[in-house]
Amino acid sequence: MLSESLNYLRNGEDWVKTVLIGGVLGLLSFLIVPTFLVIGYLLRVVRATMKGDEVPPEFDDWGDMAIDGVKGFAIAFVYALVPAIIAGVFGFAGIVGAAAGGSDAAGALGGIVALVGLLLAFVLGLLAAYLIPAALSNYAETDRMGAAFDFGTLRPILTSGKYATAWLTAFAVLFASSIVVGVLNVIPLLGFVVGAFVTFYAAVAAYYIIGKTWGELHDIEMMDEGETPGEQPAV
């Protein structure tokens, strides 16, 4: 699936145009709205690949894509909020404790509290990163934001080895792209400019893996329930 994900964008007739648009939006991400558009596009990738469509979507219907991206951003934000709050609370408690104590022991205790908080936030942040692609996939499939937090549906997916492998593969793609961008950063501005296009390409490849895996797992669940993939349930 790795090679298919890396070639996915090139299945489109205007794949160069798609990469150029995605990269430019990445460069303009500080304007916020372009970020929503990229997220909206990635959700389109998930919707297409979970249905077995190997042709990448185009950048069109910009308004719908932006709204979709806002919803996707909100879902990811909610999942990331808890680790951020914990890191802030423990960090603040550590600083206040050290300042109020005024001794070496108090300073050491404050440092320990802050360290524990950061470690806890890191673990929860990693968990959130694992949850978010599945949550976005369930939203993309149903078009209901509540589905992103439907843990009854998400649990069997999240605990499957197939999803774990797909998540690790997608993470590896994104990590490799960050290394490439880091190397490009040796030349001033090159990493910033070219890196936006590399990052977009890698993000599409990563969400191809997630969407494809989600579709396969959904088909497996349907067969376990005695249904045929693609078959409409009886009314």
Whether 8 shows a pLDDT value over 80: the answer reads: yes
Pick the more confident residue, 215 or 83.
Answer: 215
What does the alpha-carbon distance between residue 196 and residue 68 come to, in Å, rounded to a whole number? 21
Cα 85 to Cα 10, 79, 81, 82, 228: the distances in Å are: 41, 11, 6, 5, 44
Over the stretch 115-154, which tens digit does the pLDDT of each residue have?
777 788 888 899 999 999 999 999 999 999 999 999 998 9
Ordered by start, the domain boundaries in the chain are: 1-223
Alpha-carbon dihedral sign for residues 148, 153, 159, 163? negative
* Per-residue pLDDT at 223: 46
One-letter amino acid of 54: E
Reported as a single tens digit per residue, the pLDDT across 59-96 is 999 999 999 999 999 999 999 998 888 877 776 766 66
pTM of the predicted model as reported, rounded to 2 decimal places: 0.85
- Count Cβ atoms below 10 Å from residue 208 Cβ, excluding itself: 27
